[in-house]
A and B are shown apart, each in its own frame.
Chain A
Amino acid sequence: MLEINNIVTGYGDMKVLDGITLSVAEGETVALVGSNGAGKTTLLRAISGLIPVWSGNITFNGQDTTKLPAHELPALGIAHIPQGRGVLAQVSVYDNLLLGAYIPSAKSRREESLKEVFKIFPILEEKKTHLGGSLSGGQQQMLAIGRALMSHPKLMILDEPSLGLAPIVVDSVFKIIKDISAQGVSILLIEQNLVEALAVSSRGYVLETGRIALQGKSADLFNNDAVRAAYLGL
């Protein structure tokens, strides 16, 4: 579904990604792990078209999206939840969700989608007139995910969903991610929380200073000594 071929890019003169090749198949959940500064967020932003790519290409469902303007990607079925949740703080929960269905294909079935999202996240219905910024971290994460679901994406990209959340909340977030994956949505997940990330995904990539250092089945990566030493301190 998503194919990334030898991406090289960065900011200004600084190269951050040095030839990344990665793929996410339909229905798969893939984890991307690595320490801070390895380039994970940069990669996601490149996929979403928020930063230009110097060389290499990105294909989604067979279509080359490398040079596509960023705002055209959601219509193809990609939903990106940025780091920090990307909830619009000055906009109400209700409006946030409606904005999730901005693309024409989602707009027509907006009402239904809203009902479904409220079923999964009843707290959002409760707080629908509240401003996005007034929600707690965990609630914001639910809002972000709910908003992404409004567009019925084929691929969901999540940038550090566990960041800044209490462990209990993190657990529930990952349970939700698992549920979404079970419905057939492909997921590309960046996480520093290795345990949760590898538990919920089938495959993983380890990114280190702009390159893929390791890749393989999540279970294998989890049992890999080098990985455990570097990221779990074991």
Chain B
Amino acid sequence: MGTGIFLQTTLNGLMIGGVYALVAVGLTLIFGVMKIVNFAQGEFVMLGMYISWMLAHFAGIGPYEGLAISAVIMFLIGYLVFRLLIVRVIGKKDEEFILLTLGLSIFLQNAILMIFSADYLTVTSSMKDSALSFADLTLTLPRIIAFSVALTAVAVLTFLLQKTDTGRAMRACAESREIATVLGINPMRSFTLAFCIGIALAGIAGVLLTPMFYVYPGVGTLFNTTAFVVVVLGGMGSVPGALLGGLIIGIVESLTGSYVSLDLSQLGTFVIFLIVLFFRPSGLFGKRT
């Protein structure tokens, strides 16, 4: 009996971990290429959720059907944010963009609060209650879809980074803006792309979460903190690290919630965070500075 629950909990954690990984990959991409920590990443997840809700509420488009549209909208939002705000703090002190994105995070949360009120909204999908069962384990379809899409997105991004010229240019910028420049790469283009992709990934994660989570203005905070922990665990700037980190944190959180206490589920995450920060700040795959 013990193993059954253990396995189910772990499996659930793994599935949600995929989505954490997606958010974290976006965050780590932005950090890797631009050296900016986006403290508002969670809020973009939240925006993705609201976009999904609006598509469902006003256009009758379900979350999965509207995934592509949502992704594009988020990409454009990312572009707007980049051009209006981010571009002005590139190259400035660390504190400035930390504070800028923090301010953005608060602003977005409350702007949404003002527009949509604090009501908990739901987005239904016809697939919400379907599930797959095998042995004693059950996996709800939304979880499976979320996991698969998340992993696919990460795979596509990895392919982009490793095998395309644009991706190579982004990796060059991530390592050294100057070297990239003397090779003819326009760093601003790489930054823009990295940021927009990072935001789009957060938005996609949000959409994937809507069949499983309530949609409300403050929902982003949970994902914010989790994303940071994952990124630090995996190594700032490492996409594989964020993927692995996300899965680990998903499992840890699930297990802590089950075996310790539900409201302390985040505690396990934080403990890991602090351990990593103090003993191996470069994370699993990060470069040792």
Query: Which A residues form the contact surface with B (CB < 8 A)?
Result: 48-50, 69-75, 79-80, 82, 86, 88-91, 95, 98-100, 102-103, 107, 147, 151
B178 x A102 contact (CB < 8 A): no
B171 x A48 contact (CB < 8 A): no
B169 x A102 contact (CB < 8 A): yes
A91-B184 contact, Cβ under 8 Å, with A99-B168, A99-B169, A107-B165:
no
Check: B250 CB closer than 8 A to any chain A CB: no
Could you pull out 17 A-B pairs where Cβ atoms are within 8 angstroms? Answer: A50-B181, A50-B182, A70-B182, A71-B180, A71-B184, A74-B183, A82-B179, A86-B182, A88-B179, A90-B171, A90-B174, A91-B175, A98-B165, A99-B168, A102-B168, A103-B184, A107-B165
Residue ID in chain B nearest A91 by CB atoms: B171
B182 x A95 contact (CB < 8 A): no
Q: Which residues of B contact A72 (CB under 8 A)?
A: 184
A50 x B178 contact (CB < 8 A): yes
A82-B175 contact, Cβ under 8 Å, with A90-B287, A98-B168:
no
* CB contact between A71 and one of B168, B181, B287 (< 8 Å): that residue: B181
Most chain A CB within a 10 A radius of its CB, from B178, B183, B186: B183
- Alpha-carbon separation in the docked complex, A98 to B182 (Å): 14
B contact residues, range: 10 to 19
- Which residues 81-120 of B sit at the A interface, judged by CB distance below 8 A? none
- Alpha-carbon separation in the docked complex, A147 to B184 (Å): 12
Residue ID in chain B nearest A89 by CB atoms: B175
A88 x B181 contact (CB < 8 A): no
Check: B176 CB closer than 8 A to any chain A CB: yes
Q: Which residues of B contact A50 (CB under 8 A)?
A: 178, 181-182
A88 x B175 contact (CB < 8 A): yes
Check: B51 CB closer than 8 A to any chain A CB: no
Q: Give me the 7 closest cross-chain CB pairs, A-B, nearest first.
A: A74-B184, A80-B182, A103-B184, A71-B186, A70-B181, A86-B179, A102-B184
**Least CB distance, B288 to chain A, in whole angstroms:** 12
**Least CB distance, B172 to chain A, in whole angstroms:** 6
Q: Which residues of A contact B187 (CB under 8 A)?
A: 71
**Least CB distance, B165 to chain A, in whole angstroms:** 7
Q: Which residues of B contact A102 (CB under 8 A)?
A: 165, 168-169, 183-185
Add 15 more A-B contacts to A50-B178, A90-B171, A102-B165 (CB < 8 A).
A50-B181, A74-B182, A75-B184, A86-B176, A88-B172, A89-B175, A91-B168, A95-B168, A95-B171, A99-B168, A102-B169, A102-B185, A107-B165, A147-B183, A151-B184
Residue ID in chain A nearest B287 by CB atoms: A90
**Least CB distance, A59 to chain B, in whole angstroms:** 19
- Alpha-carbon separation in the docked complex, A151 to B184 (Å): 10
Q: Which residues of B contact A90 (CB under 8 A)?
A: 171, 174-175, 287
